[in-house]
Amino acid sequence: MATGESAETEPTRLTKLSRYTRWILPAVLLVELVLIFGGVISLSDGVMVVVILEATIALVVIAELLAMRRAVKRARARGQTLFQAVLDSLDQVLPPWGARIIRHDLIMWRAIWFVLHGQQDVSHDGAAIHYSKQLRPMFWVFFFIFPIEAVLVELLLPWPTVRLVLLILGILGIIWYLAFIATLYKYPHTIDPRTLRVRWSAFHNYSVPAAKIQSVRFTRKRWQVKRSVEVVDGVLVAEIEKETNVLVQLREPHRMHLGKHGVWEVTAVALWADDAPSAVDLIKRRLDG
């Protein structure tokens, strides 16, 4: 047990250390500039201090990468896929905000990979429950508006350099937006004999053990919520346009970690399905089978 705890706390210590070291270099550079221009130390001494400091930071980065490699190996040993293992290990070597940004981007680019290979993120014995049909047309309209805006910028701005920078940013933005749209197709809710996964694009992915599901039924309800996925009175609500139409009742409370929104005890899951009757039937058949 002690070994397991040590393995878990090591990446945390490295993450805290990296938070401090990222501020050391600019702080030291600022102090050195003052000392050099004030004649207190020579330029060669200042360069030497920076080199030593850079080497120290490099060692910390290498240690973080090694810790991440060990975390991936542990996750793989628990049966996770390589991609999921990499995503989980980010929390152990990066600050929460950094891990969240990189995780979302990786998931979005993976959706492009699924598009190119004609696949979606569903297990071999699972079934997809799509939820984004009514959202997609709106996002596609915006996607085709972006190039028009880029052309207008090219015509209206007189500065070539500014136009080039905005053109590059516009192209990157269009690619990112296309990846986002792909997530709506390639990351559906899923049900298999082991797990019910509740998702929204690249931003939410929560799992409930199938063994804890007591019943499932079609029931349409409107919720007063502020986020795409939120817990209301013990119900995990995964809404579309503030509505759900499938209710999954659990046998017992299930503890769920909602990231920065805390840990909640969930007794039911309410989600939106494009075809609610089929979704209810899929969940029942997977539980019975």
Sort 84 into a burial class: Cβ within 10 Å, 0-12 / 13-18 / 19+. middle
Q: How many CB atoms lie within 10 A of CB 104?
A: 16
Kindly provide the residue ranges of all beta strands, DSSP E only, lying in 19-132, ordered along the sequence: 127-129
Instruction: Specify whether 139 is located in the same domain as 180.
Output: yes
Cα separation, 164 vs 151, in Å, equals 12
Cα dihedral 119, 124, 127, 132 sign: negative
Q: How far apart are the first and last CA of the chain?
A: 37
Instruction: Specify whether 69 is located in the same domain as 101.
Output: no
Instruction: Specify whether 206 is located in the same domain as 168.
Output: no
Confidence at residue 226, expressed as pLDDT on a 0 to 100 scale? 87
Instruction: Specify whether 220 is located in the same domain as 281.
Output: yes
pLDDT score of 286 more than 60? yes
**Pairing status of strand 213-222 against strand 229-232:** unpaired
Instruction: Specify whether 31 is located in the same domain as 119.
Output: no
pLDDT 10s digits, 219-273: 999 999 888 889 999 999 999 999 999 999 999 999 998 877 888 999 999 999 9
Instruction: Specify whether 260 is located in the same domain as 236.
Output: yes
Instruction: Specify whether 88 is located in the same domain as 157.
Output: no
pLDDT 10s digits, 57-116: 566 666 666 666 776 677 667 666 666 666 666 666 667 776 777 777 888 888 999 999
CB 210 within 8 A of CB 248: no
163 pLDDT band, cuts 50/70/90, is confident
Structural domain boundaries, residue 216? 189-288
pLDDT score of 7 more than 80? no
Instruction: Specify whether 265 is located in the same domain as 205.
Output: yes
**Pairing status of strand 229-232 against strand 235-238:** antiparallel
289 pLDDT band, cuts 50/70/90, is low
Cα separation, 273 vs 240, in Å, equals 9
Cα dihedral 57, 58, 64, 67 sign: negative
Cα separation, 45 vs 29, in Å, equals 12
Q: How many domains does the chain have?
A: 3
Q: Which residues, other chains included, contact 113 with Cβ-Cβ below 8 Å and sequence gap of 6+? A: none
The residue from 187, 210, 231 where one domain ends is 187
Confidence at residue 9, expressed as pLDDT on a 0 to 100 scale? 45
pLDDT 10s digits, 136-156: 999 999 888 877 877 787 777
Instruction: Specify whether 106 is located in the same domain as 144.
Output: yes
Instruction: Specify whether 80 is located in the same domain as 99.
Output: no
CB 203 within 8 A of CB 245: no
Tell me, yes or no, if the pTM score tops 0.85.
no
Confidence at residue 164, expressed as pLDDT on a 0 to 100 scale? 81
Q: What is the mean pLDDT of the chain?
A: 79
Cα separation, 169 vs 161, in Å, equals 12
Instruction: Specify whether 85 is located in the same domain as 111.
Output: no
Instruction: Specify whether 204 is located in the same domain as 165.
Output: no
